[in-house]
Amino acid sequence: MNINNNNETLLTKEEHLANYIKTFVAIEDAMEPFKEQRKDLRESYDENGWLSKQEMRLAVKAYRLYKSETDMELLTDYVNKCQRSVGRLTGV
């Protein structure tokens, strides 16, 4: 059992789980319109021929790597290691 700091009542693991799920679902529901906007954005760029689906995926990956301050040199080293390892395993 844990103490809830807001009202100092004891909550069971199941109650914490139920509260977590309720909050998670509320957040998921709040995000849904934004997911639709993101989908519409991708469809618009694809339909207008501005970017291919692959270009959009790569742009998002590049943005997330940039945002996370990924060490590109280290990442490149790991990509090369993976290519060599997978190549040996698959014969490619």
Q: How far is Cα 60 from Cα 66, in angstroms, rounded to an integer?
A: 10
Kind and range of the H or E run holding 11: strand 10-11
Enclosing domain of residue 38: 2-90
Of all residues in the chain, what percent carry a pLDDT higher than 90? 76
**Domain count of the chain?**
1
35, exposed or middle or buried, with CB in 10 Å at 0-12, 13-18, 19+?
Answer: exposed
Which residues in the chain come in under a pLDDT of 70? 1-9, 92
pTM of the model: 0.61
Q: Which residues pair with 3 in a beta bridge?
A: 10
